Structure 1
Amino acid sequence: MTRKLIDSGMVLLDIADNGVGHLTLNRPEAFNGMSVPFLRALYDALMRCHSEPELRALVLRGAGAHFCAGGDIKDFASKGEALPDYLRVATSWLQISVTALMRLNAPVVAAVHGYAAGGGGFGLVCAADLVVAGESAKFLPGATRAGMAPDAGVSVTLPRLIGLRRAMELVLTNPTLSAARAKELGLVNRVVPDEALSEAADQLAGTLAEGAPLALAQSKRLLWDGVGRSVETGLPDEARTVAELSGTADAREGLAAVIERRRPRFTGR
Protein backbone atom coordinates (compact mmCIF):
# COMPACT_ATOMS: atom_id res chain seq x y z
CA MET A 1 0.00 0.00 0.00
CA THR A 2 1.26 3.48 -0.87
CA ARG A 3 0.62 6.63 1.14
CA LYS A 4 0.39 9.86 -0.86
CA LEU A 5 2.23 12.68 0.89
CA ILE A 6 2.12 15.24 -1.95
CA ASP A 7 -0.32 14.22 -4.67
CA SER A 8 -0.48 17.32 -6.86
CA GLY A 9 1.76 20.08 -8.10
CA MET A 10 5.22 20.28 -9.64
CA VAL A 11 6.77 17.71 -7.29
CA LEU A 12 5.00 14.58 -6.05
CA LEU A 13 5.86 12.40 -3.08
CA ASP A 14 4.64 9.07 -1.79
CA ILE A 15 5.87 6.32 0.52
CA ALA A 16 5.12 2.61 0.38
CA ASP A 17 4.64 0.22 3.29
CA ASN A 18 8.19 -1.10 2.86
CA GLY A 19 9.61 2.38 3.51
CA VAL A 20 10.48 3.15 -0.11
CA GLY A 21 9.47 6.66 -1.13
CA HIS A 22 9.12 8.14 -4.60
CA LEU A 23 9.87 11.78 -5.28
CA THR A 24 8.70 12.63 -8.78
CA LEU A 25 9.65 15.78 -10.68
CA ASN A 26 6.32 16.66 -12.25
CA ARG A 27 6.66 19.30 -14.96
CA PRO A 28 6.59 16.97 -17.97
CA GLU A 29 5.38 19.75 -20.28
CA ALA A 30 8.68 21.59 -19.58
CA PHE A 31 10.83 18.42 -19.43
CA ASN A 32 10.95 19.00 -15.67
CA GLY A 33 12.87 22.22 -16.24
CA MET A 34 13.63 24.13 -13.07
CA SER A 35 12.04 27.50 -12.31
CA VAL A 36 11.94 29.22 -8.92
CA PRO A 37 8.43 27.91 -8.09
CA PHE A 38 9.53 24.41 -9.10
CA LEU A 39 12.64 24.60 -6.92
CA ARG A 40 10.61 25.79 -3.95
CA ALA A 41 8.31 22.82 -4.42
CA LEU A 42 11.31 20.50 -4.64
CA TYR A 43 12.74 21.87 -1.41
CA ASP A 44 9.38 21.54 0.36
CA ALA A 45 9.11 17.92 -0.77
CA LEU A 46 12.62 17.14 0.45
CA MET A 47 11.86 18.74 3.81
CA ARG A 48 8.80 16.50 4.01
CA CYS A 49 11.12 13.54 3.39
CA HIS A 50 13.29 14.66 6.28
CA SER A 51 10.25 14.66 8.57
CA GLU A 52 9.09 11.12 7.68
CA PRO A 53 10.60 8.59 10.11
CA GLU A 54 9.17 5.70 8.08
CA LEU A 55 11.17 6.65 4.98
CA ARG A 56 13.96 4.10 4.52
CA ALA A 57 14.99 4.78 0.90
CA LEU A 58 13.97 7.33 -1.74
CA VAL A 59 13.66 6.93 -5.50
CA LEU A 60 14.11 10.22 -7.37
CA ARG A 61 12.54 10.21 -10.84
CA GLY A 62 11.03 12.44 -13.49
CA ALA A 63 7.59 12.40 -15.10
CA GLY A 64 7.26 12.47 -18.88
CA ALA A 65 9.95 12.03 -21.51
CA HIS A 66 12.96 13.15 -19.46
CA PHE A 67 14.40 12.92 -15.97
CA CYS A 68 15.20 16.65 -15.92
CA ALA A 69 16.39 18.96 -18.69
CA GLY A 70 18.01 21.43 -16.28
CA GLY A 71 16.97 25.03 -15.85
CA ASP A 72 13.79 26.24 -17.54
CA ILE A 73 15.44 28.16 -20.37
CA LYS A 74 12.23 29.82 -21.54
CA ASP A 75 11.53 30.99 -18.01
CA PHE A 76 15.07 32.34 -17.73
CA ALA A 77 14.92 34.15 -21.06
CA SER A 78 11.67 35.86 -20.10
CA LYS A 79 13.40 37.69 -17.23
CA GLY A 80 15.50 39.89 -19.53
CA GLU A 81 17.85 42.16 -17.61
CA ALA A 82 16.41 40.92 -14.33
CA LEU A 83 17.82 37.44 -14.99
CA PRO A 84 20.86 37.78 -12.65
CA ASP A 85 18.62 38.54 -9.67
CA TYR A 86 16.25 35.73 -10.64
CA LEU A 87 19.10 33.25 -10.94
CA ARG A 88 20.48 34.24 -7.55
CA VAL A 89 17.17 33.17 -6.08
CA ALA A 90 16.95 30.03 -8.24
CA THR A 91 20.49 28.98 -7.43
CA SER A 92 19.89 29.45 -3.72
CA TRP A 93 16.86 27.17 -3.80
CA LEU A 94 18.73 24.64 -5.94
CA GLN A 95 21.72 24.56 -3.61
CA ILE A 96 19.70 24.04 -0.46
CA SER A 97 17.65 21.36 -2.25
CA VAL A 98 20.81 19.49 -3.27
CA THR A 99 22.11 19.80 0.27
CA ALA A 100 18.81 18.43 1.61
CA LEU A 101 19.14 15.49 -0.79
CA MET A 102 22.68 14.69 0.33
CA ARG A 103 21.80 15.11 4.01
CA LEU A 104 18.67 12.95 3.90
CA ASN A 105 19.18 9.97 6.20
CA ALA A 106 17.52 7.64 3.73
CA PRO A 107 19.66 6.60 0.73
CA VAL A 108 18.60 8.22 -2.54
CA VAL A 109 18.39 6.27 -5.80
CA ALA A 110 18.09 8.38 -8.96
CA ALA A 111 16.16 6.59 -11.73
CA VAL A 112 17.20 8.32 -14.94
CA HIS A 113 15.45 8.18 -18.31
CA GLY A 114 15.64 10.56 -21.24
CA TYR A 115 17.93 13.50 -20.54
CA ALA A 116 19.60 14.48 -17.28
CA ALA A 117 21.01 17.85 -18.26
CA GLY A 118 22.32 21.07 -16.80
CA GLY A 119 22.69 21.98 -13.15
CA GLY A 120 19.21 20.66 -12.54
CA GLY A 121 19.20 17.19 -14.04
CA PHE A 122 22.93 16.50 -14.16
CA GLY A 123 23.39 18.05 -10.73
CA LEU A 124 20.70 15.91 -9.12
CA VAL A 125 22.36 12.82 -10.58
CA CYS A 126 25.67 13.85 -9.02
CA ALA A 127 23.96 14.48 -5.67
CA ALA A 128 22.13 11.13 -5.52
CA ASP A 129 23.68 8.29 -3.56
CA LEU A 130 23.13 5.67 -6.25
CA VAL A 131 22.07 5.99 -9.89
CA VAL A 132 20.19 3.56 -12.12
CA ALA A 133 19.79 4.57 -15.77
CA GLY A 134 17.73 3.29 -18.64
CA GLU A 135 19.93 2.25 -21.55
CA SER A 136 18.75 5.15 -23.73
CA ALA A 137 19.32 7.81 -21.04
CA LYS A 138 21.61 10.75 -21.87
CA PHE A 139 23.73 12.91 -19.57
CA LEU A 140 24.82 16.46 -20.39
CA PRO A 141 26.50 19.01 -18.09
CA GLY A 142 25.38 21.80 -20.43
CA ALA A 143 26.15 24.89 -18.34
CA THR A 144 28.99 26.37 -20.36
CA ARG A 145 27.07 25.69 -23.58
CA ALA A 146 24.54 28.26 -22.33
CA GLY A 147 27.21 30.71 -21.19
CA MET A 148 26.82 29.65 -17.57
CA ALA A 149 28.91 27.78 -14.98
CA PRO A 150 28.08 24.53 -13.19
CA ASP A 151 25.74 24.73 -10.22
CA ALA A 152 23.85 22.30 -7.97
CA GLY A 153 27.20 21.42 -6.41
CA VAL A 154 28.55 19.93 -9.65
CA SER A 155 31.83 21.82 -9.32
CA VAL A 156 32.42 19.88 -6.09
CA THR A 157 30.71 16.53 -6.66
CA LEU A 158 31.69 15.80 -10.26
CA PRO A 159 35.51 15.92 -9.80
CA ARG A 160 35.16 13.66 -6.77
CA LEU A 161 33.00 11.20 -8.67
CA ILE A 162 35.07 10.89 -11.86
CA GLY A 163 38.35 12.79 -11.28
CA LEU A 164 39.46 16.34 -12.07
CA ARG A 165 40.61 15.84 -15.68
CA ARG A 166 37.48 14.01 -16.75
CA ALA A 167 35.28 16.51 -14.94
CA MET A 168 37.11 19.40 -16.61
CA GLU A 169 36.58 17.85 -20.03
CA LEU A 170 32.88 17.26 -19.45
CA VAL A 171 32.21 20.75 -18.12
CA LEU A 172 34.26 22.60 -20.75
CA THR A 173 33.33 20.59 -23.85
CA ASN A 174 29.78 19.42 -22.96
CA PRO A 175 29.63 16.02 -24.64
CA THR A 176 26.34 14.16 -24.46
CA LEU A 177 27.08 10.95 -22.59
CA SER A 178 25.27 7.70 -23.20
CA ALA A 179 24.18 5.68 -20.20
CA ALA A 180 26.93 3.17 -20.93
CA ARG A 181 29.60 5.87 -21.05
CA ALA A 182 28.25 7.47 -17.86
CA LYS A 183 28.61 4.11 -16.16
CA GLU A 184 32.18 3.76 -17.42
CA LEU A 185 33.03 7.17 -15.95
CA GLY A 186 31.45 6.39 -12.59
CA LEU A 187 28.39 8.63 -12.82
CA VAL A 188 25.99 5.69 -12.97
CA ASN A 189 25.91 2.48 -10.95
CA ARG A 190 23.67 0.36 -13.15
CA VAL A 191 22.30 0.49 -16.69
CA VAL A 192 19.14 -1.48 -17.40
CA PRO A 193 16.71 -1.83 -20.32
CA ASP A 194 14.44 1.22 -20.49
CA GLU A 195 11.34 -0.81 -19.74
CA ALA A 196 12.97 -2.26 -16.61
CA LEU A 197 14.10 1.07 -15.11
CA SER A 198 11.29 1.58 -12.63
CA GLU A 199 11.41 -1.98 -11.37
CA ALA A 200 15.22 -1.95 -11.07
CA ALA A 201 15.24 1.30 -9.12
CA ASP A 202 12.49 0.06 -6.80
CA GLN A 203 14.30 -3.23 -6.23
CA LEU A 204 17.52 -1.43 -5.32
CA ALA A 205 15.63 0.96 -3.03
CA GLY A 206 13.82 -2.00 -1.48
CA THR A 207 17.14 -3.66 -0.70
CA LEU A 208 18.37 -0.45 0.92
CA ALA A 209 15.14 -0.14 2.89
CA GLU A 210 15.82 -3.53 4.47
CA GLY A 211 19.18 -2.32 5.76
CA ALA A 212 20.03 -0.86 9.17
CA PRO A 213 18.75 2.72 8.87
CA LEU A 214 21.08 4.27 11.43
CA ALA A 215 24.13 2.60 9.93
CA LEU A 216 23.15 3.55 6.38
CA ALA A 217 22.47 7.15 7.40
CA GLN A 218 25.79 7.52 9.19
CA SER A 219 27.72 5.76 6.41
CA LYS A 220 26.14 8.07 3.86
CA ARG A 221 27.02 11.10 5.97
CA LEU A 222 30.63 10.00 6.37
CA LEU A 223 31.06 9.46 2.64
CA TRP A 224 29.52 12.79 1.66
CA ASP A 225 31.48 14.60 4.36
CA GLY A 226 34.60 12.95 3.02
CA VAL A 227 34.11 14.78 -0.28
CA GLY A 228 35.26 18.03 1.28
CA ARG A 229 37.64 17.20 4.09
CA SER A 230 41.05 15.75 4.77
CA VAL A 231 41.85 12.27 6.04
CA GLU A 232 43.05 13.82 9.29
CA THR A 233 39.64 15.29 10.06
CA GLY A 234 37.67 12.40 8.59
CA LEU A 235 39.22 9.49 10.47
CA PRO A 236 38.29 10.65 14.01
CA ASP A 237 34.71 11.25 12.92
CA GLU A 238 34.62 7.81 11.32
CA ALA A 239 35.95 6.13 14.47
CA ARG A 240 33.52 8.02 16.70
CA THR A 241 30.59 7.09 14.47
CA VAL A 242 31.50 3.40 14.41
CA ALA A 243 31.75 3.34 18.21
CA GLU A 244 28.37 5.04 18.60
CA LEU A 245 26.67 2.68 16.14
CA SER A 246 28.08 -0.35 17.96
CA GLY A 247 25.84 0.52 20.92
CA THR A 248 22.61 0.40 18.93
CA ALA A 249 20.06 -2.39 18.91
CA ASP A 250 20.51 -2.69 15.14
CA ALA A 251 24.23 -3.42 15.58
CA ARG A 252 23.48 -6.13 18.12
CA GLU A 253 20.82 -7.57 15.83
CA GLY A 254 23.23 -7.49 12.88
CA LEU A 255 25.89 -9.42 14.80
CA ALA A 256 23.35 -11.94 16.03
CA ALA A 257 22.02 -12.46 12.51
CA VAL A 258 25.51 -13.16 11.17
CA ILE A 259 26.20 -15.65 13.96
CA GLU A 260 22.81 -17.33 13.53
CA ARG A 261 23.03 -17.25 9.72
CA ARG A 262 19.69 -15.51 9.19
CA ARG A 263 18.41 -12.27 7.73
CA PRO A 264 18.62 -9.36 10.20
CA ARG A 265 15.49 -7.55 11.36
CA PHE A 266 16.50 -3.91 11.74
CA THR A 267 14.29 -1.46 13.64
CA GLY A 268 16.27 1.80 13.43
CA ARG A 269 17.12 1.78 17.15
Structure 2
Amino acid sequence: MDAIERDWITLDVSDAVGTLTLSAPDQLNAIHKPMMDQLIRRLEDLHEDERVRAVIVTGSGRGFCAGAHVGEMAALEDKGSGIYKLLHDGWNRAVRLIRSMPKPVVSAVNGIAAGGGVGLALSADMVLAARSARFIQVFGPKLGVIPDVGNTWFLPQAMGRAKAMQLMLTGETLGAAQAENRGLIARCVEDNDLPREAFTLAHDLSRGPIEAFVEIRKAVDKGLTSNLEQALDHERDTNARLCAGPDFAEGTSAFVDKRKPDFTRSPIQDDRTER
Protein backbone atom coordinates (compact mmCIF):
# COMPACT_ATOMS: atom_id res chain seq x y z
CA MET A 1 0.00 0.00 0.00
CA ASP A 2 1.26 3.40 -1.00
CA ALA A 3 0.18 6.50 0.97
CA ILE A 4 1.23 10.00 -0.01
CA GLU A 5 0.58 13.01 2.21
CA ARG A 6 0.05 16.43 0.66
CA ASP A 7 -1.13 18.57 3.54
CA TRP A 8 -4.87 18.89 2.85
CA ILE A 9 -5.37 15.89 0.56
CA THR A 10 -4.18 12.30 0.86
CA LEU A 11 -4.06 9.60 -1.78
CA ASP A 12 -3.81 5.90 -1.01
CA VAL A 13 -3.42 3.41 -3.87
CA SER A 14 -4.19 -0.24 -3.21
CA ASP A 15 -5.18 -3.03 -5.64
CA ALA A 16 -5.87 -0.62 -8.52
CA VAL A 17 -8.12 1.58 -6.34
CA GLY A 18 -7.10 5.16 -5.56
CA THR A 19 -8.71 6.56 -2.40
CA LEU A 20 -8.69 10.34 -2.31
CA THR A 21 -9.37 11.74 1.17
CA LEU A 22 -10.19 15.32 2.12
CA SER A 23 -8.03 15.77 5.20
CA ALA A 24 -9.10 18.85 7.14
CA PRO A 25 -11.27 17.24 9.84
CA ASP A 26 -11.05 20.21 12.19
CA GLN A 27 -13.07 22.26 9.65
CA LEU A 28 -15.35 19.38 8.52
CA ASN A 29 -13.30 19.36 5.31
CA ALA A 30 -14.59 22.77 4.23
CA ILE A 31 -12.45 23.60 1.23
CA HIS A 32 -10.39 26.79 0.92
CA LYS A 33 -8.25 27.70 -2.09
CA PRO A 34 -5.01 25.92 -1.09
CA MET A 35 -7.00 22.76 -0.39
CA MET A 36 -8.91 23.07 -3.68
CA ASP A 37 -5.67 23.57 -5.60
CA GLN A 38 -4.34 20.35 -4.12
CA LEU A 39 -7.59 18.52 -4.84
CA ILE A 40 -7.44 19.54 -8.49
CA ARG A 41 -3.82 18.43 -8.79
CA ARG A 42 -4.71 15.09 -7.25
CA LEU A 43 -7.64 14.60 -9.63
CA GLU A 44 -5.42 15.48 -12.58
CA ASP A 45 -2.85 12.97 -11.34
CA LEU A 46 -5.53 10.28 -11.08
CA HIS A 47 -6.54 10.87 -14.69
CA GLU A 48 -3.03 9.87 -15.72
CA ASP A 49 -2.19 7.24 -13.08
CA GLU A 50 -2.11 3.88 -14.87
CA ARG A 51 -2.01 2.01 -11.54
CA VAL A 52 -5.53 3.21 -10.74
CA ARG A 53 -8.62 1.73 -12.41
CA ALA A 54 -11.23 3.06 -9.95
CA VAL A 55 -11.35 6.02 -7.57
CA ILE A 56 -12.94 6.63 -4.16
CA VAL A 57 -13.52 10.17 -2.86
CA THR A 58 -14.15 10.45 0.87
CA GLY A 59 -13.51 12.67 3.89
CA SER A 60 -11.68 12.34 7.18
CA GLY A 61 -13.23 12.80 10.60
CA ARG A 62 -16.89 13.64 11.14
CA GLY A 63 -17.51 15.27 7.78
CA PHE A 64 -17.32 14.43 4.12
CA CYS A 65 -17.20 18.08 3.06
CA ALA A 66 -18.93 21.12 4.56
CA GLY A 67 -18.66 23.00 1.26
CA ALA A 68 -16.59 26.09 0.68
CA HIS A 69 -14.67 27.70 3.52
CA VAL A 70 -17.09 30.48 4.52
CA GLY A 71 -14.40 32.46 6.33
CA GLU A 72 -12.35 32.64 3.14
CA MET A 73 -15.38 33.79 1.13
CA ALA A 74 -16.33 36.41 3.73
CA ALA A 75 -12.81 37.85 3.58
CA LEU A 76 -12.87 38.40 -0.18
CA GLU A 77 -12.49 42.09 -1.00
CA ASP A 78 -14.37 41.86 -4.29
CA LYS A 79 -16.85 39.11 -3.55
CA GLY A 80 -18.46 38.97 -6.98
CA SER A 81 -15.29 38.40 -8.98
CA GLY A 82 -13.73 36.41 -6.14
CA ILE A 83 -16.59 33.89 -6.00
CA TYR A 84 -16.62 33.66 -9.80
CA LYS A 85 -12.95 32.69 -9.74
CA LEU A 86 -13.38 30.22 -6.86
CA LEU A 87 -16.16 28.48 -8.78
CA HIS A 88 -14.70 28.67 -12.29
CA ASP A 89 -11.11 27.75 -11.45
CA GLY A 90 -11.83 25.61 -8.40
CA TRP A 91 -15.09 23.84 -7.66
CA ASN A 92 -16.36 23.62 -11.24
CA ARG A 93 -12.97 22.41 -12.40
CA ALA A 94 -13.04 19.67 -9.74
CA VAL A 95 -16.53 18.54 -10.79
CA ARG A 96 -15.48 18.42 -14.42
CA LEU A 97 -12.38 16.41 -13.57
CA ILE A 98 -14.48 13.87 -11.67
CA ARG A 99 -17.10 13.64 -14.41
CA SER A 100 -14.41 13.16 -17.06
CA MET A 101 -12.36 10.68 -15.02
CA PRO A 102 -11.41 7.83 -17.40
CA LYS A 103 -12.30 5.27 -14.73
CA PRO A 104 -15.27 4.81 -12.36
CA VAL A 105 -15.57 7.10 -9.32
CA VAL A 106 -17.28 6.22 -6.03
CA SER A 107 -18.11 8.78 -3.34
CA ALA A 108 -18.04 7.46 0.23
CA VAL A 109 -19.91 10.08 2.27
CA ASN A 110 -18.77 9.53 5.83
CA GLY A 111 -20.50 12.46 7.54
CA ILE A 112 -21.94 15.87 6.83
CA ALA A 113 -22.10 16.95 3.19
CA ALA A 114 -23.22 20.56 2.94
CA GLY A 115 -23.43 23.08 0.12
CA GLY A 116 -20.74 22.44 -2.45
CA GLY A 117 -19.86 19.24 -0.60
CA VAL A 118 -23.14 17.75 -1.83
CA GLY A 119 -22.28 18.60 -5.43
CA LEU A 120 -18.80 17.16 -4.98
CA ALA A 121 -20.26 13.88 -3.67
CA LEU A 122 -22.88 13.65 -6.41
CA SER A 123 -20.25 14.18 -9.11
CA ALA A 124 -19.23 10.54 -8.67
CA ASP A 125 -20.70 7.68 -10.66
CA MET A 126 -22.01 5.99 -7.51
CA VAL A 127 -22.54 7.41 -4.02
CA LEU A 128 -22.44 5.36 -0.84
CA ALA A 129 -23.19 7.06 2.47
CA ALA A 130 -22.80 6.11 6.11
CA ARG A 131 -26.10 5.91 7.95
CA SER A 132 -25.10 8.94 10.06
CA ALA A 133 -24.29 11.05 6.97
CA ARG A 134 -26.38 14.14 6.27
CA PHE A 135 -26.97 16.19 3.12
CA ILE A 136 -27.80 19.88 3.48
CA GLN A 137 -28.45 22.65 0.94
CA VAL A 138 -27.36 25.80 2.77
CA PHE A 139 -27.14 28.19 -0.18
CA GLY A 140 -30.52 29.92 -0.26
CA PRO A 141 -31.75 29.79 3.35
CA LYS A 142 -28.38 30.51 4.99
CA LEU A 143 -26.36 32.52 2.45
CA GLY A 144 -28.86 34.14 0.10
CA VAL A 145 -27.43 32.61 -3.09
CA ILE A 146 -28.40 29.82 -5.47
CA PRO A 147 -27.00 26.29 -5.13
CA ASP A 148 -23.86 25.77 -7.21
CA VAL A 149 -21.22 23.06 -7.78
CA GLY A 150 -23.79 21.30 -9.97
CA ASN A 151 -26.46 21.00 -7.29
CA THR A 152 -29.15 22.60 -9.47
CA TRP A 153 -28.51 19.84 -12.02
CA PHE A 154 -27.75 16.82 -9.81
CA LEU A 155 -30.65 17.14 -7.36
CA PRO A 156 -33.59 17.60 -9.78
CA GLN A 157 -32.23 14.84 -12.04
CA ALA A 158 -32.03 12.42 -9.11
CA MET A 159 -35.06 13.41 -7.02
CA GLY A 160 -37.39 15.33 -9.29
CA ARG A 161 -38.16 19.05 -9.19
CA ALA A 162 -40.52 19.05 -6.21
CA LYS A 163 -38.21 17.33 -3.73
CA ALA A 164 -35.16 19.22 -4.99
CA MET A 165 -36.92 22.56 -4.55
CA GLN A 166 -37.99 21.55 -1.06
CA LEU A 167 -34.38 20.92 -0.04
CA MET A 168 -33.04 24.06 -1.73
CA LEU A 169 -35.66 26.45 -0.36
CA THR A 170 -35.93 25.10 3.18
CA GLY A 171 -32.38 23.91 3.80
CA GLU A 172 -33.75 20.87 5.61
CA THR A 173 -31.34 18.11 6.54
CA LEU A 174 -31.65 14.92 4.50
CA GLY A 175 -30.46 11.75 6.23
CA ALA A 176 -28.63 9.03 4.36
CA ALA A 177 -31.56 6.58 4.49
CA GLN A 178 -33.88 9.29 3.11
CA ALA A 179 -31.32 10.13 0.44
CA GLU A 180 -31.32 6.49 -0.66
CA ASN A 181 -35.12 6.29 -0.66
CA ARG A 182 -35.37 9.44 -2.77
CA GLY A 183 -32.82 8.22 -5.30
CA LEU A 184 -30.10 10.74 -4.43
CA ILE A 185 -27.52 8.08 -3.53
CA ALA A 186 -26.99 4.44 -4.50
CA ARG A 187 -26.84 2.96 -1.02
CA CYS A 188 -26.85 3.74 2.70
CA VAL A 189 -24.59 1.48 4.81
CA GLU A 190 -23.72 1.20 8.46
CA ASP A 191 -21.05 3.69 9.55
CA ASN A 192 -18.40 1.11 10.37
CA ASP A 193 -18.99 -0.68 7.07
CA LEU A 194 -18.56 2.35 4.79
CA PRO A 195 -14.79 2.09 4.11
CA ARG A 196 -15.01 -1.63 3.38
CA GLU A 197 -18.16 -1.36 1.28
CA ALA A 198 -16.76 1.53 -0.76
CA PHE A 199 -13.47 -0.27 -1.36
CA THR A 200 -15.20 -3.52 -2.33
CA LEU A 201 -17.40 -1.68 -4.82
CA ALA A 202 -14.51 0.29 -6.30
CA HIS A 203 -12.32 -2.82 -6.49
CA ASP A 204 -15.07 -4.74 -8.29
CA LEU A 205 -15.46 -1.89 -10.76
CA SER A 206 -11.68 -1.76 -11.28
CA ARG A 207 -11.79 -5.34 -12.56
CA GLY A 208 -14.41 -4.51 -15.16
CA PRO A 209 -14.41 -3.01 -18.66
CA ILE A 210 -13.35 0.51 -17.71
CA GLU A 211 -13.92 2.10 -21.12
CA ALA A 212 -17.48 0.75 -21.24
CA PHE A 213 -18.18 2.03 -17.72
CA VAL A 214 -17.04 5.52 -18.70
CA GLU A 215 -19.16 5.39 -21.86
CA ILE A 216 -22.18 4.36 -19.76
CA ARG A 217 -21.65 7.51 -17.69
CA LYS A 218 -21.52 9.63 -20.83
CA ALA A 219 -24.59 7.96 -22.33
CA VAL A 220 -26.65 8.43 -19.17
CA ASP A 221 -25.66 12.10 -18.87
CA LYS A 222 -26.42 12.65 -22.55
CA GLY A 223 -29.71 10.80 -22.22
CA LEU A 224 -30.85 13.18 -19.48
CA THR A 225 -30.79 16.07 -21.94
CA SER A 226 -31.74 14.31 -25.19
CA ASN A 227 -34.75 12.59 -26.74
CA LEU A 228 -35.18 8.90 -27.52
CA GLU A 229 -34.03 9.23 -31.13
CA GLN A 230 -30.80 10.91 -30.04
CA ALA A 231 -30.26 8.28 -27.34
CA LEU A 232 -30.73 5.45 -29.84
CA ASP A 233 -28.21 7.03 -32.21
CA HIS A 234 -25.69 7.57 -29.42
CA GLU A 235 -26.02 3.96 -28.26
CA ARG A 236 -25.57 2.69 -31.83
CA ASP A 237 -22.48 4.79 -32.51
CA THR A 238 -20.83 4.10 -29.16
CA ASN A 239 -21.35 0.34 -29.30
CA ALA A 240 -20.12 0.17 -32.89
CA ARG A 241 -16.85 1.65 -31.61
CA LEU A 242 -16.67 -0.40 -28.39
CA CYS A 243 -17.37 -3.66 -30.22
CA ALA A 244 -14.25 -3.08 -32.31
CA GLY A 245 -12.12 -2.86 -29.15
CA PRO A 246 -10.29 -5.37 -26.94
CA ASP A 247 -12.82 -5.51 -24.07
CA PHE A 248 -15.66 -6.73 -26.30
CA ALA A 249 -13.35 -9.30 -27.85
CA GLU A 250 -12.37 -10.52 -24.38
CA GLY A 251 -15.96 -10.50 -23.15
CA THR A 252 -17.32 -12.52 -26.06
CA SER A 253 -14.39 -14.94 -25.95
CA ALA A 254 -14.88 -15.50 -22.22
CA PHE A 255 -18.62 -16.02 -22.73
CA VAL A 256 -18.00 -18.68 -25.39
CA ASP A 257 -15.28 -20.33 -23.26
CA LYS A 258 -17.53 -20.20 -20.16
CA ARG A 259 -14.90 -18.39 -18.08
CA LYS A 260 -14.67 -15.08 -16.23
CA PRO A 261 -13.46 -12.27 -18.52
CA ASP A 262 -10.19 -10.48 -17.73
CA PHE A 263 -10.58 -6.83 -18.70
CA THR A 264 -7.59 -5.58 -16.71
CA ARG A 265 -5.14 -5.82 -19.61
CA SER A 266 -6.90 -3.08 -21.59
CA PRO A 267 -5.29 0.38 -21.39
CA ILE A 268 -7.23 3.28 -19.89
CA GLN A 269 -7.96 6.04 -22.39
CA ASP A 270 -8.13 9.62 -21.09
CA ASP A 271 -10.07 11.67 -23.63
CA ARG A 272 -10.41 14.91 -21.69
CA THR A 273 -11.03 17.90 -23.91
CA GLU A 274 -10.37 20.37 -21.07
CA ARG A 275 -6.97 20.24 -19.42
One fold, TM greater than 0.5? Answer: yes
2:243 to 246, 251, 256: 246
Aligned to 1:127: 123
1:141-184 superposed Cα distances (whole Å, 9 cap, x missing partner): 21112212111111112111111221111111111011100001
Aligned to 1:160: 157
> What secondary structure is seen at the aligned counterpart in 2 of 1:128?
coil
Return the alpha-carbon distance in structure 1 between the equivalents of residues 113 and 193 of structure 2: 18
Aligned to 2:85: 89
2:134 to 133, 138, 153: 138
Return the alpha-carbon distance in structure 2 between the equivalents of residues 38 and 231 of structure 1: 41
Aligned to 2:147: 150
Return the alpha-carbon distance in structure 2 between the equivalents of residues 248 and 235 of structure 1: 20
1:193-241 superposed Cα distances (whole Å, 9 cap, x missing partner): 1011100000000110110112112112222233333434333222111
Return the alpha-carbon distance in structure 2 between the equivalents of residues 85 and 214 of structure 1: 38
Return the alpha-carbon distance in structure 1 between the equivalents of residues 29 and 126 of structure 2: 20
> What secondary structure is seen at the aligned counterpart in 2 of 1:160?
helix
Residues 24-35 of structure 1 aligned to structure 2 (within 5 Å): 24-35=21-32
Return the alpha-carbon distance in structure 2 between the equivalents of residues 71 and 197 of structure 1: 24
1:65-111 superposed Cα distances (whole Å, 9 cap, x missing partner): 100011111222223x4222221111111111101101101111100
Cα contact 1:102–1:224 (8 A) shared by 2: no
Cα contact 2:215–2:238 (8 A) shared by 1: yes
Q: Structure 1: which 5+ runs fail to align?
A: none
How many corresponding residue pairs?
A: 264
1:103 to 92, 100, 114: 100
Answer with 223-232 or 172-181: which moved more.
223-232
**Kindly tell me: are residues 11 and 226 of structure 1, through their superposed partners in 2, closer, same or farther at Cα, counting changes over 3 Å?**
farther
Cα contact 1:105–1:220 (8 A) shared by 2: no
Q: Structure 2: which 5+ runs fail to align?
A: 268-275
1:225 corresponds to 2:227: no
**Kindly tell me: are residues 57 and 64 of structure 1, through their superposed partners in 2, closer, same or farther at Cα, counting changes over 3 Å?**
same
Cα contact 2:103–2:211 (8 A) shared by 1: no
1:252 counterpart letter in structure 2:
A
User: 1:258, CA displacement in angstroms?
Assistant: 2.2
> What secondary structure is seen at the aligned counterpart in 2 of 1:67?
strand
Return the alpha-carbon distance in structure 1 between the equivalents of residues 94 and 225 of structure 2: 18
Identical pairs, percent: 33
Residues 36-115 of structure 1 aligned to structure 2 (within 5 Å): 36-79=33-76, 81-92=77-88, 93-115=90-112
Return the alpha-carbon distance in structure 2 between the equivalents of residues 225 and 46 of structure 1: 23
